[in-house]
Every structure is written in structure tokens, then in C-alpha cells.
Amino acid sequence: MQQFYVYILASRPGGAIYVGVTNDLVRRTYEHKNGLVAGFTKRYKIDRLVHFEAYDTAYQAIQREKNIKHWPRSWKTRLIAEKNDRWRDLYDEIV
């Protein structure tokens, strides 16, 4: 059964934040880390995986991503801090 992921990347603790959705979290995070994704994340060196959530359907993941993107920054940082208070890079835990 395929899973879909909502993920949050950060440039550093308290730095720039990016929210995305993917069906392959390892591949997508790798792409961000190695500058293979043109745009915002590459420009601001946003490559630290600080939060992710798994969903059974693309619809659920996309809806959650849209909701989080519209949140104030303080809500996003609180979401990250709930499970990752030091904003450590979670990439090594998923590979």
C-alpha cells in the first residue's frame, strides 16, 4: 500500500520553512539536500527534514499540506517542536 507524506524542511532552527507533499519521502528529501529542486528550497538552502506525517491517500496529504501552508509561522514552529524540539535533521532516520 502506497503512502503519501507531508513534510517540513527548514534551513536551520528558527530559519526558513518549506512545506511539501510527496509519495517518496526519502527521494524527495535527497533531491532537496542535493540542490536538485530548483526554486525556493535551493535558493535559501532549505534542506533539513524537521517534520513529516504519513497518509494513506494523496487527497489527505494534499489537504493537510494546504492547511499547514496557510498557518501562521508560530503554529508551524509549534508543530515541529512537539516532536522535534531541537529541529534535528530526520533524514538519517528514514533512509
CATH code of the domain covering residue 8: 3.40.1440.10
Which domain covers residue 62, as residue numbers? Answer: 4-94
Q: Sign of torsion, CA 1 82 34 95?
A: negative
Q: Can you list the pairs that 24-33 forms with residues at least 24 positions away whose Cβ atoms lie under 8 Å?
A: 25/49, 25/52, 25/94, 26/94, 26/95, 29/91, 29/94, 30/91, 33/91
Cβ neighbour number for residue 27 with a 10 Å cutoff: 10
pTM as predicted: 0.96
pLDDT bucket at 1, cuts 50 / 70 / 90: confident
* Structural domains in the chain (count): 1
d(CA 79, CA 95): 23
Tens digit of pLDDT for each residue in 2-57? 999 999 999 999 999 999 999 999 999 999 999 998 999 999 999 999 999 999 99
pLDDT at 76 over 90: yes
Q: Which three cell numbers mark 94?
A: 528514514
